[in-house]
Amino acid sequence: MAVRMEEVLTRRTGDPSSTDHPGNRLELSTEDGVTKIFGFWMFLVSDVLLFATLFATYVVIYTHTADGPSAAELFRHDVSGFLAETLALLTSSFTCGLATWEMHQGRAGRLKLWMIITLLLGLTFLGLEITEFHDFVSQGATMQTSAFLSGFYTLVGTHGAHVTLGILWMSLILYQLVRFGLNAVTARKFYIVGLYWHFLDIVWVLIFTVVYLTGVM
Amino acid sequence: MGDSLTNTAGHFFVTGDPMIIASDVAIVLVSLGIVFTLTYFKKWKWLWREWLTTVDHKKIAIMYLISAILMLFRGGVDALLMRTQLALPNMKLLSAEHYDQIFTTHGTIMILFMAMPFIFAMFNAVVPLQIGARDVAFPYLNAISFWLFFFGALLFNISFVIGGSPDAGWTSYPPLTELQFDPGVGENYYLLALSISGIGTIATGINFLATIIKMRAPGMTLMKMPLFTWAVLGTCIIILFVFPVLSVALALLLIDRLFGAHFFTMMYGGNPMQFVNLFWIWGHPEVYIAVLPAFGIYSEVVSTFSQKKIFGYKSMVASIMAISIIGNLTWVHHFFTMGAGPAVNTFFSITTMAVAIPTGVKVFNWLMTMYRGRITLSLPMMWVLAFIPNFALAGATGVWLAEAPTDYQYHNSYFTVAHFHQALIGGVVYGMLAGMYYWWPKMFGFKLKEKFGKWAFWFFNIGFYVCFIPQYVLGLMGMQRRMYTYTPDMHWTALNFVSTIGAYLMGIGFLCIAAQIIHSLVHMEKDLTGDPWGGRTLEWSLPSPPPHYNFAVIPQVSDRDEWWERKRRGEQDALKPRPEDIRNVHMPKNSGVPFLMGVCFFIAGFGFTFGWIAVGAAGLLGVLVCLAHRSLDQHPDHDIPADEIRRTEAALGRL
Ligand code: HEM
Ligand SMILES: [Cu+2]
C-alpha cells in the first residue's frame, strides 16, 4: 500500500510563514497524499485527452448544419447567456483558489465559506446552461437536428456533466471537512477536487473560444 | 398473452440456432455445477473473503490470468468454428449472419478480453515485486479495474444468448453500425461492454504509472529498473493517451444509436470517417499496448535463461519509449484505401516503417544476449525462441502492408489476416505464455511440469505455421477477409483446408496447456526456493507466493539485476529481513465495494443495451453510491503488527 505509515514524513517544519514551500503543505504531508495527488494529475491527462477528442470531433462537424440552425444563428441570440455562464464559472475558479489559499493558512472556517461560494457559483453556471439548452431545444434545435448540434450538445454537455459531478463531489468533501475537520486527508481531498474544478474552468475557456466565440463570428 | 410472452422471450433469449441452444444448456449446466460445488464444499465465504473482496495485487493477477485463459478458450472456439466453416467450399455449418457474429466476437474478445487481461495479469503479478513495493499505488482502484474488466467481459459474452451478438466486425465501423443498418442490441452490447472495461483499463494505466514512478524501492533509479517494468511504463503511457479516445468514439456511436444523434450517420451532416480515425488512433497503439509487455517478458526471460545481463539495456529502454511514441503516429495505415491522398498516405507509410527500427534494435539485443550465454531450454525460453522468427516474418509482411501502393492490393484480404495473427499470436500470445510459465511458480508457489507443456509448444507452433502461411497465399490469390464462404472454382479449397488443419493443431496445443495445468495441480511440486530459475530481479528474492505484504522490509537497491548481483557476491541473506528492522506495515483492508461497483456497471450496461434508460440510470446511481461510500470511509487501511510479520517471516524460514 502507498502509505508506509512508519515512514510517513511529517514534513511540516513548524514555520507557518513559508506556506508556499510545497513540503509544508498539509495535503503533501504524507506519502499517501503525494501519491494520490500524482495519480490525480494522471487522471487529468486522460480527461484532457477525452475533451481533446470531443473538440476535434466538434471542429470536424461544426459546419455540418444540415439545413438546421448554424452556430452563428444560435449563439448570436444568446451572447449574454454564455457570457454570464463564463463569468460564473471563472469567478468560481477564483473563489476555489481562495479556498485553497485559506486552507494553506490553516483557516478551516474560511475554507468552508469559500467552498460554499464556489458551489453556489457552480450551481448558477449549471442553471444557466440548462436554461440555454432548454431555449435552444424549444427553438427546435435538438441533438437530432444536425451533426453540428449533436457535437454541440455532447461537447458542452460533457463539460456540464463534469461540473455536476464536481458539485456533488465538492459537497461531499465539504461535509467531511465539517464532520472530521481539516487534516492531512481532508486537505488532500479538497486539494484534488480543487484541481478538478480549475481543470473544468480551463476546458470552459476553450469551449468559450472554440464553440461560442468562433460560432458568433 | 402466452403467445406474446414467448415472442418477447424469443427476442430476448436467442433461440432457433441449435448451436446457441446447446450453449444455453451448457451455460446453465456449468453455472449450476459451480453453484453446487461451492455450496457442497462450503466455499462461498471463502470465495467472498479471499477473492471477490481482495485488493491484493497478487490475487488480482490470478483472477486476471484465469479470465484471460477462459477468454482464450472462448475466442479459440470462435476461431475453430470460423475455420471449419471455411475448410471447404459452399459449407453450411454456420449461417452467414452467425459467421458475422463470430468473427466479430472472436476479434473483440481476443484483443480486449484476452490480450488485455493477460497483460494485466502480468502487470499485477510482477511489477510491485520487481520494484520492491508492498502493493500498487492504489490497491482499491486496482480491484475496481479488475471488476470493470470482468463485468464488461461478462456483458459482452452474454450477448451470445441474450439478445444477439454484434456482427459488424471488431472495428464496428459506422454507418454500418448505425441503428438504421444494424438494429437489434448486438452493437449496443459491444459499445457498452468495451466502454465499461475501458474505464477499468484507463484506471490500470494510471495506477501502474503512479506505482512505477512513486513506489520504487530506495536506490532503484529509472535506469536500474528491470526491463519488464520499463515496458509496463511505456504501455501505461500509451494507455493513458489512447484509451480515452476509444471511450469517446464508442460513446459518440452509442449516442447516435440511443439518442438519434448524427455524429457518424450518412445524413444530417454525420461523418463516418471521423469514427474510423478515432477508432484507429486507439486501435493501432493498442497493438503496442499488447506487445510491449510481451517484449518486456522476452527481455527478462532471455536474460535469465542465458544467465547474462541483457545486452544493450539503454537501447532497450530507448526503443520502448520510441515505440510508445512513434506507435501513435501510424493509425492511417489502416485505411490507406479510403482516399486521403498521396501526401497523407506517404507520411503514415513512413512512420509505420519507422517503428521497425526500434523493434529491430530489440530483436538484435535479444539475440546478442543469447550469444555466448549459457542457455537453458526450459518452456519460457522455448516460447521466446519461437517468437523470434515469427516476429521477423510479421515485421516483413507488415512493411509490405505499410507501403500504401501495395496495400491497395492486400487491403482487407487474407494477407492482412495472416499478418496480424502472426504479430498478435507470434508476438503477444507467445509472450504471455512465456510470461505465464516464467512467473507461474512465483504466482502459485509450484512449478508447472514440462511434459504436456512441450507437447503444447510443438502442436501450437507447427499448427501456427500450417494455419497462417496458406492465408498469405490465399490473400494474394484474392480471398477477402470476413468472407463467409466461397465456391470451388476459386481454387482456394486446398489452402483453406490446410489452414483449418493448422487451426485444429493449435486447438490441441491449447488443450495440452490445460492438461499441463491440471496435471501439475494433481502432482504438485512445491517450489520452496522462491527462485527456481536462477532469477535476476527482486521478485525472486521473495518466497513463492510472497506474503501479502510482499517485503517485510523494503530492500535497498544498488544494481540493475539486484538479486543476481547479491547472489553473485554471496550476499543473498542481506535481502532477508532482520527482526529488529521489522515495523508495523500499513495495508489496505479488503472491500466488497469494487465488486458491487462492477455489478452496478453491469446493470447500467445491460439497461442501456436494451434502451431501458431507467435501469441504466439506476445502475449509474449505484456507481455513484459506491464512490461516495469510499470517500466517506475513514478507515480504509489497517496496520499489520510487527509481531505478526515476524511470525509470518519465521514460518517462511526467513528469520
Ligand atoms: C488461436 C488461433 C486463431 C485462429 C485460428 C484465428 C482465426 C481467425 C479467423 C478465421 C478470423 C476471421 C477472418 C475472416 O473471416 O476475415 C480471425 C479474425 C480475427 N482474429 Fe483471429 N484467430 C486466432 C487467434 C487470434 C488472436 C490470439 C487474436 C488477437 C490477440 C486474434 C485477433 C483477430 C482479429 C482482431 C480478427 C479480425 C476480426 C474482424 O474481422 O473483425 N485472433 N481470426
Ligand atoms: Cu496499425
Three state DSSP letters for A60-92: HHCCCCCCCCCHHHHHHCCHHHHHHHHHHHHHH
Interface test with A, best of B195, B250, B252, B262 (most A CBs within 10 A): B262
Contact check, Cβ <8 Å, A168/B624: yes
Q: Ligand 1, closest atom to CA B510?
A: 1
Alpha helices for B177-226 (secondary structure H):
186-214
Q: Alpha-carbon dihedral of residues B430, B436, B437, B438, nearest 10 degrees?
A: 100
Which residue from B596, B633, B624 is spatially nearest to A165, judged by alpha carbons? Answer: B624
CA A144 to chain B, closest CA, distance in angstroms equals 5
pTM of the model: 0.94
Query: Average of pLDDT values for B133-153?
Result: 97
CA of B117 to the centre of ligand 2 (A): 21
CA of B283 to the centre of ligand 2 (A): 7
3-state SS class at A143:
coil
- Is the pLDDT assigned to residue B91 strictly greater than 50? yes
Q: Give the model's confidence band at B9: pLDDT under 50 very low, under 70 low, under 90 confident, else very high.
A: low
Which residue from A181, A167, A27 is spatially nearest to A112, judged by alpha carbons? Answer: A181
Interface test with B, best of A46, A177, A183 (most B CBs within 10 A): A46
Which residue from B216, B201, B209 is spatially nearest to B118, judged by alpha carbons? Answer: B201
Q: Ligand 1, closest atom to CA B484?
A: 15
- Condensed to tens digits (0 to 9), the pLDDT of residues B370-405 reads 999 999 999 999 999 999 999 999 999 999 999 898
Q: Which residue has the higher pLDDT, B208 or B43?
A: B208
In A, which residues are within 8 Å of B276 by CB distance?
A: none
* Positive/negative CA dihedral, A21, A24, A28, A32: positive
Which residue from B133, B153, B39 is spatially nearest to B554, judged by alpha carbons? Answer: B133
Q: Kindly indicate whether the ipTM for this predicted assembly is greater than 0.90, answering yes or no.
A: yes
Contact check, Cβ <8 Å, B245/A5: no
- Condensed to tens digits (0 to 9), the pLDDT of residues B281-292 reads 999 999 999 999
Query: Does residue B111's CB lie within 6 angstroms of at least one atom of ligand 1?
Result: yes
- AA identity, residue B27: I
Q: Which residue of A has its CA nearest to B281?
A: A53
Gap between the Cα atoms of B535 and B566, Å rounded: 11
Cell of B428: 503477444
CA of B60 to the centre of ligand 2 (A): 30
End-to-end Cα distance, chain B:
73
A interface residues, B as partner, C-beta within 8 Å: 1-6, 34-36, 38-39, 42-43, 45-47, 49-50, 53-54, 57, 60-61, 64-66, 68, 143-148, 150-151, 153-154, 168-169, 172-173, 176, 180, 189
pLDDT for B28 equals: 81
CA A187 to chain B, closest CA, distance in angstroms equals 13
- Is the pLDDT assigned to residue B88 strictly greater than 60? yes
CA of B107 to the centre of ligand 1 (A): 5
Non-local CB neighbours of B32 within 8 Å, separated by 6+ positions:
none
In A, which residues are within 8 Å of B240 by CB distance?
A: 42, 45-46, 49
pLDDT for B12 equals: 76
CA distance readout (Å), B344 to B30, B208, B402, B551: 52, 35, 13, 52
Taking 70 as the pLDDT cut, the residues of chain A under it are 1-24
Query: Average of pLDDT values for B109-130?
Result: 98
Cell of B579: 527482526
CB burial class (10 A; 0-12, 13-18, 19+) of residue B490?
middle
- AA identity, residue B153: A
Q: Ligand 1, closest atom to CA B86?
A: 10
Nearest residue by C-alpha to atom 27 in ligand 1? B425
CA of B108 to the centre of ligand 1 (A): 9
In A, which residues are within 8 Å of B242 by CB distance?
A: 49
Q: Which residue(s) pair with B585 in the sheet?
A: B640
pLDDT for B6 equals: 54
Of B137, B252, B278, the CB nearest to A154: B252
Gap between the Cα atoms of B584 and A5, Å rounded: 8
In B, which residues are within 8 Å of A39 by CB distance?
A: 137-138, 206-207, 210
- Condensed to tens digits (0 to 9), the pLDDT of residues B321-362 reads 999 999 999 999 999 988 888 999 999 999 999 999 999 999
Per the CB < 8 A criterion, the answer to whether A190 and A98 are in contact is no
In B, which residues are within 8 Å of A173 by CB distance?
A: 631
Gap between the Cα atoms of B341 and B278, Å rounded: 19
Query: Does residue B106's CB lie within 6 angstroms of at least one atom of ligand 1?
Result: yes
Q: Which residue(s) pair with B588 in the sheet?
A: B637
- Condensed to tens digits (0 to 9), the pLDDT of residues B484-510 reads 999 999 999 999 999 999 999 999 999
Contact check, Cβ <8 Å, A6/B583: yes
Q: Give the model's confidence band at B13: pLDDT under 50 very low, under 70 low, under 90 confident, else very high.
A: confident
Contact check, Cβ <8 Å, B586/A6: yes
Per the CB < 8 A criterion, the answer to whether A152 and A207 are in contact is no
Backbone angles phi, psi at B23, to 5 degrees: -70, -35
Of A4, A146, A168, the CB nearest to B269: A146
Contact check, Cβ <8 Å, B634/A173: no
Contact check, Cβ <8 Å, B240/A168: no
pLDDT over 70, % of chain B: 98
CA of B504 to the centre of ligand 1 (A): 14
3-state SS class at B88:
coil
Gap between the Cα atoms of B44 and B54, Å rounded: 14
Query: Does residue B419's CB lie within 6 angstroms of at least one atom of ligand 1?
Result: no
pLDDT for A26 equals: 87
Query: Does residue B421's CB lie within 6 angstroms of at least one atom of ligand 1?
Result: yes
Rounded (10°) angle between helices A147-180 and A184-207: 160
Q: Give exposure, B215-224, as e/b (b: 16+ Cβ within 10 Å).
A: bbbeebeeeb
Contact check, Cβ <8 Å, A61/B269: yes
CA of B285 to the centre of ligand 2 (A): 7
In B, which residues are within 8 Å of A184 by CB distance?
A: none
pLDDT for B161 equals: 87
DSSP string, B214-250: H-PPTT--GGGS-HHHHHHHHHHHHHHHHHHHHHHHH
CA of B480 to the centre of ligand 1 (A): 14
Q: Which residue of A has its CA nearest to B279?
A: A53
Gap between the Cα atoms of B59 and B49, Å rounded: 12
> Strands, E, within B51-157: which ranges?
none
pLDDT for A77 equals: 87
In B, which residues are within 8 Å of A4 by CB distance?
A: 134, 554, 585-586
- Is the pLDDT assigned to residue B210 strictly greater than 90? yes
Q: Ligand 1, closest atom to CA B424?
A: 30
pLDDT for B43 equals: 87
Gap between the Cα atoms of B215 and B139, Å rounded: 13
Of A3, A35, A61, the CB nearest to B271: A61
Contact check, Cβ <8 Å, B278/A45: no
The average confidence (pLDDT) of chain B is 94
Interface test with B, best of A150, A167, A179, A180 (most B CBs within 10 A): A150
Contact check, Cβ <8 Å, B139/A1: yes
- AA identity, residue A167: I
- Condensed to tens digits (0 to 9), the pLDDT of residues B369-379 reads 999 999 999 99
DSSP structural state of residue A53: H
